[in-house]
Amino acid sequence: MSDQKQKRLPRWYFGGVSSAVAACVVHPLDLLKVQLQTQQEGKLTLGKLTAHIIKTEGVFALYNGISASLLRQLTYSMTRFGIYEVVKQKYNPDTFAAKVGLAAGAGACGGFVGTPADMVNVRMQNDMKFPKDKRRNYKHAIDGLLRVYKEEGTKRLFSGASTATTRAIFMTVGQLSFYDQIKLSLINSGVFKDNLLTHFLSSLAAGLIATVLTQPVDVIKTRLMNSKPGEYPTVLHCIKFTALLGPLAFYKGITASASRLIPANILLFLTYETLTKNFGHIKEYAT
């Protein structure tokens, strides 16, 4: 009779919780990224923008929209991580292509579900750029959702859903399938073990890949969500307008994106792996 060994597997909600933890730490960088992406002429650098916000609005302004950011992670990330893990644990895809396909499907679902919170998050982070008499002044995420529903209609809650979903597909592929594959490759090399160093290196590489994959879509998504009704009749109009600013306009704010996404990805997966190691459900398998 073969011996039985135990292995801890992630619970479906660990991804959402870990993403929320990471969001609390990197939210100021997310806010700076949004403001850089919505600049029309790109006059301010990351450093100058940070100094400008602190000088004119105060340090705590860097946390504008934190409630919406947390709500976004508890809808968007919890959905995509949950689907990815549940399906992966049940069917155990053994090829990278299968993991990419699973990640893409999970990302599409998460992107759509998280669109309302994402839109309110973008608006709250960008509100300080407007004159005080023209600011939306959402009190918190729920207030923002209710006001958009009452003032602009249900359809407006899903403004930018197509680009948010597209971005989520690329993000989830970059984060989850690449993280799993890189981690597996490092362990199979015989040089690395399933430990903190391996988790750090895998999440670092996956964060870099996800940044490059998602940045053009992220710029369009941010512009659409922050736009006034009728400003961009279609996604194509937004793409054309952005293209007029030059090809690099699609990578506007990539420094802020990378400085946010890579540390967030590292923190996310270190938290995720810690939760799994200590609180994951136990699966027994024969050796």
C-alpha to C-alpha distance for 232 and 227, rounded to whole angstroms: 7
Which pLDDT belongs to residue 133?
87
| Per-residue confidence (pLDDT) for residue 84, from 0 to 100 | 97
Structural domains in the chain (count): 1
Q: Is residue 229 part of a domain?
A: yes
By the 8 A CB rule, do 76 and 110 touch? yes
Domain contains 258: yes
CATH assignment of the domain containing 106: 1.50.40.10
Identify whether 4 is part of a domain: no
The per-residue pLDDT for range 50-106, each reduced to its tens digit, is 898 899 889 988 998 899 999 999 999 999 999 999 999 999 898 999 999 999 999
CB atoms within 10 A of CB 219: 27
Whose tokens are 């960088």? That residue is 29
The whole-angstrom separation of Cα 85 and Cα 40 is 40
For residue 1, tell me if it sits in a domain. Answer: no
What does the H/E/C string look like for the chain?
CCCEEEEEECCCCHHHHHHHHHHHHHHHHHHHHHHHHCCCCCCCCHHHHHHHHHHHHCHHHHHCCHHHHHHHHHHHHHHHHHHHHHHHHHHCCCCHHHHHHHHHHHHHHHHHHCHHHHHHHHHHHHHHHCCHHHCCCCCCHHHHHHHHHHHHCHHHHCCCHHHHHHHHHHHHHHHHHHHHHHHHHHHHCCCCCCCHHHHHHHHHHHHHHHHHHHHHHHHHHHHHHHCCCCCCCCHHHHHHHHHCCCHHHHHCCHHHHHHHHHHHHHHHHHHHHHHHHHHCEEEEEEC
Does residue 37 fall inside a structural domain? yes
pLDDT of residue 286: 59
Residue 142 lies in a domain: yes
Q: What is the pLDDT of residues 13-26, one digit of tens each?
A: 999 999 999 999 99
Comparison of pLDDT for 240 and 186, the residue scoring more: 186
> Is 287 contained in some domain?
no
Q: Tell me which residue range forms the domain holding 47.
A: 11-279
Residue 106 CA, chain-centre distance (Å), reads 13
pLDDT for res 285: 67
Using a 10 angstrom Cβ sphere, with 0-12 exposed, 13-18 middle and 19 or more buried, the burial of residue 248 is: exposed
264/29 Cα distance (integer angstroms): 10
- In this prediction the pTM is 0.83
pLDDT confidence tier of residue 1, bands split at 50, 70 and 90? very low
Within a domain: 285: no
